[in-house]
Amino acid sequence: MKKKYWLDERRNVLRLIAVFAALCVGVLVIDAGFDRHDEFPWEGWFGFYGFFGFIACVVLVLAAKELRRLVMRREDYYDE
């Protein structure tokens, strides 16, 4: 019999997504209440750091997929 994990149930996954979404909204609400001492004008935009972090993460993932071709070895590379 296959062991069942807690993330195998769709209901638990939806709860986890809801918690993460609520945390993101909470951080955006908190961001509106702080007066930051910005060095550049775009740092003062509402939610700048959240959006910047998301875009940077996506760019890193896409770059890693492309760079994988450069460093990837044959499957039997260490067998020789």
In single-letter form, the type of residue at position 74 comes to: R
More confident residue, 22 or 42: 22
Output the pTM of the full model: 0.59
Does the pLDDT at position 80 exceed 70?
no
Angle at 24 between CA 22 and CA 29, to 5 degrees: 95
3-state secondary structure of 17: helix
Average pLDDT, stretch 38-53?
86
